[in-house]
Amino acid sequence: MSFALDFIRILAIALNVIIIARVTVSWVKLSPSNPIMIIIYGMSEPMLRPIRKLLPNTGGLDFSPIVVIMLIMGAEWILNAIIGLISNTGAV
């Protein structure tokens, strides 16, 4: 089960890096046609858009990255706990 735990951990780190890159890039004025912007926005927007729709309008502040990072951390914790339980009971 070590592979599954490592995979979940790496996936969570990669998703968090994408979200943090999105926040960092939003502070810099880059062209929307910049390839880096296209990649970062293309990977982060599907995670942020549904959360942004649920959150109330706070003016110029976007709290959706914070919520998404907390959800990723929670999902990682839950999946690690489930895999740990499965591996401890011997069930496959």
User: Rounded mean pLDDT of 10-15?
Assistant: 95
CA pseudo-torsion sign 30, 32, 38, 41: positive
Tens of pLDDT, residue by residue over 43-87, are: 999 999 999 999 988 888 889 999 999 999 999 999 999 988 888
> What pLDDT score does 86 carry?
86
Check: CB of residue 22 under 8 Å from CB of residue 65: yes
Tens of pLDDT, residue by residue over 34-51, are: 999 999 999 999 999 999
> What pLDDT score does 5 carry?
86
pTM for the whole thing?
0.84
For 10, 19, 51, 83, the CA distances from 46, given in Å and listed in that order, are 19, 11, 9, 27
